[in-house]
Structure 1
Amino acid sequence: MKSWDQRIDDVWDDASGEEVGDETIARIDALAAERGADDARAEFERAGARDSAGRPAEAVVLYRRALELGLDEEHRPQCVIQLASSLRNLGEYDDALAVITAEEERSPDGPYRDAVATVHALILANAGQPARGLSVALLALVPHLPRYHRSMTAYAHEIADADT
């Protein structure tokens, strides 16, 4: 028999490439019910299903619940990223910025740092600070460049001031 994680992965694989809807939500909810209402990972998966179905307000509640319950270090940053993105989609930019900047401070060198920076940049752009968003994106790219780290870092900081 497949593990719970494998069955969750199967649902997401089945939903790959198509719009997520009520059927995917129902399948995720059924699997989540196996673990109970106080399981952080189950709540995270339920949130992700709603988020993927274009229901960010429902997802936000579940993401927050998953974080309160305590996720492992693989899923916690994913949950934070997805929560911040959902808040951005709802136009709750200040809250989204607070969530994503707290993650940047908590795990500046974590495996999801580029995803965190990407969401941070999107939030800033949507919040009317596109130059700061570009700066965040450029700073995330700098470590991946073969050269020009110092100059590109300086340019990124300079661009950020264009929104002020």
Structure 2
Amino acid sequence: MTWEERIADAWSADVTDEERIALIDAVAAERPEDDAAALFERAGARDSAGLEEEAEPLYRRALEAGLDEDRRVQAVIQLASTIRNLGKLEESLALLRAEYEKGRDAPLRDATAAFYALALASSGDAVRAASIALQALAPHLPRYMRSVTGYAQELV
């Protein structure tokens, strides 16, 4: 079984948060201490368990170490969500805005929009948050896509 498969198994295992952290840490330990993917998985396990203060530095180290594009975007979203919960709202907004502004074809665009909308709502900018969320939703609507997109843009 590959490293990636063992990580996926740890995530899907029916275990407590503490047990999941231990499982992921054990698999991550098979890689060098500064391995970006291992750091990212360790951060995610802690984040998922509500241990944001432990997750934050691991996300930062993973990003500094250089993640593949898929994990990089996930790490940015997850770090931004984590630091929003830790009261670092301005930094969270800046990270999410930068990802969001990469355009419609950027990886995980809708997930980025969702977390950007949450951060905007936390900042008190509920109208901008609604606009971002509606623009992300509009392409998935079987009808009224143009109308919803137009109304969402008019909000701001």
Q: TM-score, length-normalised on structure 2? A: 0.91
Q: How does 1:95-114 map to 2 (within 5 A)?
A: 95-106=91-102, 108-114=104-110
- The equivalent residue for 1:38 is 34
1:30-72 CA-to-partner distances (Å, cap 9, x unmatched) read: 1111101110000000000110110112111111111111111
Q: What secondary structure sits across from 2:101 in the alignment?
A: helix
> Structure 2 unaligned runs (5+)?
none
**Letter of the 2:58 counterpart:** L
Calculate percent identity across the aligned residue pairs.
Answer: 57
Q: Please, which of 121, 124, 127 is the counterpart of residue 120 of structure 2?
A: 124
Tell me the distance in 1 between the aligned counterparts of 2:148 and 2:16.
39
CA contact (8 A) 2:10 2:23 kept: yes
Q: Please, which of 21, 27, 50 is the counterpart of residue 25 of structure 1?
A: 21
Tell me the distance in 1 between the aligned counterparts of 2:58 and 2:94.
18
Cα-Cα RMSD? 1.7
Residue 101 to residue 19, structure 1, CA distance change in 2 (3 Å): farther
Q: How does 1:55-70 map to 2 (within 5 A)?
A: 55-70=51-66
Deviation for aligned residue 1:150:
3.7
Answer yes or no: is 1:4 the counterpart of 2:38: no
Q: What secondary structure sits across from 2:142 in the alignment?
A: coil
Q: TM-score, length-normalised on structure 1? A: 0.87
**Number of equivalenced pairs:** 156
